[in-house]
Structure 1
């Protein structure tokens, strides 16, 4: 019985790949923050509507702008075969992020009784930070997923998996997920 050492990327290579992805995500997110704060403050000051309503409008416009940046720049090399699934998940996770973000505005305004532009923008900034953390991990994990490369005949476990083979079942799924991550990291460099 011969064993082959699995090809693995070093921790430094993985971190380098993630750091490139984080940088791109951050740039798109920063544009979204400017859009979000610009639109929500403009609506707040021009209309005099309730702070949470203005914040939701700004967040919705930023979500649309961010989708374009994520889809066509940050995650352009990911599986685009099922756009309907991608957009649905993007909107669901963006909606949860919107609830997180605007929940802080609501809490500051109606629970703490803080009013005025400074309180509004500070509460919006805290909520934006929390929502961004949630969005980054959810988009990366579930929305913009990379496709693993198909197995070749030379690779162990590339044929039909049986219960006796080491590449069957859960182990095979884990190997495919690792392959997808390695592709993502390699493309991020």
Structure 2
């Protein structure tokens, strides 16, 4: 029985398939990110329009933390197929803390430096500015940082390909997938 990934690839036009296979880790990372972006957006609006009405940066930070936790689990299990070593978890927390701050900075600038908030602008403009600065610009810049940092410091193999191939595997388990750009 083909995997969900194989079934999805079967529906992709033939000319795109080699590109997607070659960049499968990036594609998986972007799929996880898209789902977490949607989750973060929904949580952000729910918090902002209810219990955190006057605190948009706090609402975005909480929503981003929740999205980040979901992202970690999905990226670790699917996109990067890592094993959850204590060092990996610590590095993920550190990278994510920086990424959350990066994500919040455009919203802080929009609200408090450019004064795109009530009473200086209309409620509609404020919400559009919040969405564009916090959810679009902030998420995009944080995503670029996260992808680079995850590959560089978080989801790294313990050893090179030669050593990984020499380590005996449990029956029914494949050798861990190693990034192509690791020397």
TM-score, structure 1 as length reference:
0.68
* C-alpha distance 118-134 of structure 1, shift in aligned 2 (>3 A): same
1:72-96 CA-partner distances (Å, limit 9, x unpaired): 10111x4x2x621111100111111
Which one of the candidate residues 120, 138, 147 is aligned to 2:130?
Answer: 120
2:64, 2:137 → 1: CA distance?
A: 14
1:184 partner SS: coil
TM-score, structure 2 as length reference:
0.70
Deviation >2 Å, runs of 4+: 15-18, 182-186
Tell whether the 8 Å contact from 1:43 to 1:49 is kept in structure 2 after alignment: no
Match of 1:68 in 2: 73
2:59, 2:20 → 1: CA distance?
A: 38
Structure 1: gaps spanning 5 or more residues: 1-14, 152-181
1:135, 1:18 → 2: CA distance?
A: 20
| RMSD over aligned Cα atoms | 2.2
Match of 1:100 in 2: 102
Which one of the candidate residues 140, 146, 154 is aligned to 1:143?
Answer: 154
Match of 1:44 in 2: 48
Which one of the candidate residues 157, 165, 184 is aligned to 2:179?
Answer: 184
Structure 2: gaps spanning 5 or more residues: 1-18, 118-125, 164-176
* C-alpha distance 103-18 of structure 1, shift in aligned 2 (>3 A): farther
2:116, 2:26 → 1: CA distance?
A: 33
Structure having the higher Rg? 1
